Structures are given as structure tokens and as C-alpha cells.
Structure 1
């Protein structure tokens, strides 16, 4: 119940922080504004609230200096994730993600998804906006309603049914990296973003153009670390703290306007986070929890190694083995995990283990030291 109380308190704090703020953080499992190939565990609910404010009152292009949205997500059988988001009181969208392949030591996780499943063609986190009556063509009229910088595009691709394919790979203490392609909201025509979609090979813009997005995040200490991404339209950087139970994020978004973009446009500051029911699932299934324990040592000298033990392909934060003994211990829900050990000056090692309910699983790492002059 203690963990449940913490999650509930986190949810209340998020409501208080975001209640006066326009949303920017991704609705399904992701970074700042891009989806990743990692999904929620089975039967876990996630409640998210996100907001952002413009960085200056001189940003004349912004129709929404401050706004807010929220979403509810659910993990389905460890293979899919569904999210329902509210942008405004009249604008709701459904997002779906399906995990095609799990991450292994040499192969990234791969997922397919569709965002903004709705009957509205042009839809963003600020909603569909107000109808502009003086425009002749319907699609031109509708595409003006959105983020201020999107209104500067010669044509804005409709965000409805934004399909994408994304792969994600964890490299332990070196971070997690994500690369994907998609249509709709992943296609931009700004001074920089226009080089990252298929219309670069055409003299005209197409609503079925395919754009590229990417991102990376790093775990510096127990779930805390920086992140950055490019969503096909905007460049964003931020900080996050995440655990299986909740996440809090702070980011500066739309930074391309200060990096050689249109000087009349300005970045925004975003705040967001979520709380999950992971703790409730664990409380209801105590017997479905096991213990992972082990040690990391120098393969040649048998001396203990202070290593970062991470869990690629999951939302679990990393732990650090004891500097004196090299030992580590953590309680995990039953299931199959990829466990990776990394340490400066050593080759990383990875194993796949099964955590059995009520039992202890031992996972040791004999770390091989790198030879001088070799960087890999």
C-alpha cells in the first residue's frame, strides 16, 4: 500500500503542476514527443498529464500561450499499448502501438503504431482550433488550426492516422536510442525539418510524405537523466526521472527556432509526467514477485566490479552493484528479463533470466577488462 500511496500522491502533484499549462509529451510510451518501441507491461494502466507554456509573450504565432492535456494508457498482454488522449473538451484521439519484435543483445525492439485515430483530419495537442471562415479550400482552412509554427508551413500534412514504425535499443549506461519513420505528425516543412522527409526529392508537398524521427535518453543515476528527440517537426531536449511507478519530465521544446530557424518563433517550456498502476498490480500479486541477485567481478583477477545493472527493453531503472563486493539485489515481477552489466573499462555483458514467483534467481557477471588502446 505504501507504493500505491506514493503513486496516488504523484498523480495529485502532477495535476497541480499541469493544471495551468499546452501539452507536448508523447501519449504512448516514449520520450518528449516521439513514440518508442517500449510498451507498458500487461494489465498496467498509465495516467498522464502534460502541459507547456510559451517562453515569451512576443511569440505572435502562438494561438495557445498555455494549455494542457491528459491521457490514459493500458498495456495489453505485453504486446500492445492503447492510449486515449483528451486535447480539449471536444477533441479526443486514440493511439495504438504493437510490439513486433522484442529487444535482444544484437537486435533492437521494433514496434508499429498509429497515433491520432480520430475523425478530424488536422489535429494537434492544442486541438482542432477555431474555423477560419475566409479561406477558400477546406484543407487549407483546417490546417491553419494547430501549433503556431505549423501555420508557417507551405502545406501541413494531416495528423489524422499518423502511422509509424520505430526501433529502440538500449546500450546500458551508454543510453537508449530510438529511430523511426512515420507520416502525418512526423512530417514537417520548417527550415530544418523539411530535410527529414521524402518531399525533399519533390518540388511539391504531399500529404502521404514519410518523415524521420529519432531520440535518445540516458540514465545517469537511478532513473534520472537527460533526453533529446526530433519528432519530424521540432527539436526538443529535457530531463526526466522515471521508475516503474511514475515519471516526471521537464523539457524545452521547439528549439529549432533558436538554431537558425524562423526568428519570429520561440521555444516552449513543457512539464509532464505519469503515474502507473504497477504498484497495484504488484500488491495484488505478491506471489508473482521474485528476487534477482548476483555479483559482478573482474574475470581475470576475481576482484569485485562496481557495475551498472540495467534491464533493456523495460521501463525499469538501472541499479549499481556494491563497490566493495560487486553484489546487487532487486525484487522484480515474475517474467523474463534481459539483464545487462556495464562498467567503465570493461566489455559489457548481458544475460536473459527468468524471475520465478517467490524464488531467488542468481545472475553473475564475470567482466572482461578492455585492453589499452581499444575503445570497443
Structure 2
């Protein structure tokens, strides 16, 4: 099958697909002061979040930060200890999951092995009392949307992992929910399939206009598909913003450390700036004074000739990544620093080099 054939199959014209005949306008989602306790342990600490209709928002953070719990509260699978969940203008905090009009895709495919693909996709409709013929037609439309219309008569064991997850996505979309929830749906897939399905989920979401909340610990996934990202840590939202905001202007050290790759180098802060290796850099966030740790992005460090100002270092490793090379060096004060530079600028293990930092804004934390 050619790429053109695949796109035609995955994205049929509006006239040919009932799911696309009246595109959704999206539903506003709001968390108001959500607290969640498990016994004496508090896992969500007054989470506030407002998601615009049709927006794709990712909850990003390390394991145990509360992102999946927040999604489960939104889905109605967990009851909040305090606070309210709103869909549109309606408080749904006390409504069961089956009355919230949401679609959900989990990490595990959870397909019925004894049902054909089309019947798996139609399952939610059949549970709602839709007739078999109508449910099958709408399920076929949903399978077309995810590029699997030609595999409706197969059984789950005859599909790859990526194809099974597409069926799970079709099953979530077929009921035309107000909100789509995705809980680490790609983590069980291999890298190439993960990227392909990630991008396809985003294209489908944009075409349907459905409000989507995506839980992931993979920053690359979140940066690639999100309108905005809420970075969570220890049950709180550290920062919410566009991918560009979070990468270029992290509000806290936790965000700088988690989003993107940074080297932590020593510096001295004073008057809203910090001095690193003799270069004065502007600082994001709250101003500090005194010794600090400075988060420096690898693209803001460069190799310089011995004749120019810089810091002496020794190459620890250098990795070729196609269009660029990423090199790890150790300065004479034992600080490890990553540098992103041209692939044609080659250095070898053990080589003595000099590095310099660009005068770009940085994030700092007290030492």
C-alpha cells in the first residue's frame, strides 16, 4: 500500500464518513481545586486546570507525580476527595463514568479476543443499545478513520500491537465522545510505531476537533503533539504552557530538569542574572543571589578554538545523531556538560577542548 493509499484510507472525505459529517466543536474541561487522598496519603494537592474546547493538553511528569490519578478523576474512575470536575458548564463530579460522555484509550489494548475487529470497535455502541447494522456501519467508519477499514473481519491476535491500539482508538472515537482521554497509549509500542501512531492521533484529533487529555511520561511525545502541556510533580502542576514556553522559559528548576535535556553547572547569581564561566546570563523566574545550579541547554554550549575565551574540558563521549552530534565533556572542575553541535565538527574520546556558553536565558536553583 502506498503512502497516498494509506492517507486516503486513514482520512476519508467527510461525505464518506459519518464521524466527520458534523465535526465536534470540543468541550471545555475544568479542574477546580482537585484533591485526592488515598487514606493518609495525598496524591493530588488542589489541582486547577482549564482546558479550552478542542484543545490537546498533555499531563507530563515522572512516575508517581499524580498525572494518571488526575485523568482517572476526570474519567470518573476515581472520586475526588475535594474539588469539582466540569465538562462544559456542568459539574460532573458525582456522575459515574458511563454518564460523562468520554472516550478513553489505555496503555493495554483491552480488546476482546473472541470478537472481530469491527465488533470490538462497535462494542461501546452496542452497549448503548445501537442496532447491530448501525453499530457495524459506524464502527467501520471509525476503523477507516484510523486506517484499518480493510481489517475489520480479522481478530485481535491477527494484528500487530500498533494495529490493536488503533482499534482501541477507533472504539473510543466511535461513540463520538465530548472528551478523549489517553492514558500512556503508546508506551507498549516500539519506537517507530509509537511515533507514527502519535502523529496520527494528533491529526485525527485536529480533524475531529475533540478535546483531548493525554497522559505521558515521555517529554518528546508531549512536545510533539500538545497545544499545551501541564508538567506535574508530587501531585501539583509545576507549570502549564505551550511546548515552546516550557522548553525555552521553564518557570522552575523541576520543569527545566524534566523538559528537554540540560546540564547542571555552577554559577553565581546576582541582580536577576547569573555568571557562568565568566559570561553573564539572564535568569528565568524568581531572582536569587549567591551560588546556584544553572540549567544550560546543550544547544547553548559550543566548542571554541583555544584562542578564544572558554573553559577547558575533556571529551567523555561523542554520539553521531544524523544531522548533529551530541558530545559530553568534563570540565577541569569535574562538571559534566553536554554540547549539541554540527555533525561535521568531530571530536574524540579523551581529546582536550574548550567550551563556551551562549548568552541565552537560563533557569537556576539555590545550591
Give me the TM-score of the superposition, normalised by structure 1. 0.30
More strand by share: 1
Q: Which has the larger radius of gyration?
A: 2
Give me the TM-score of the superposition, normalised by structure 2. 0.31
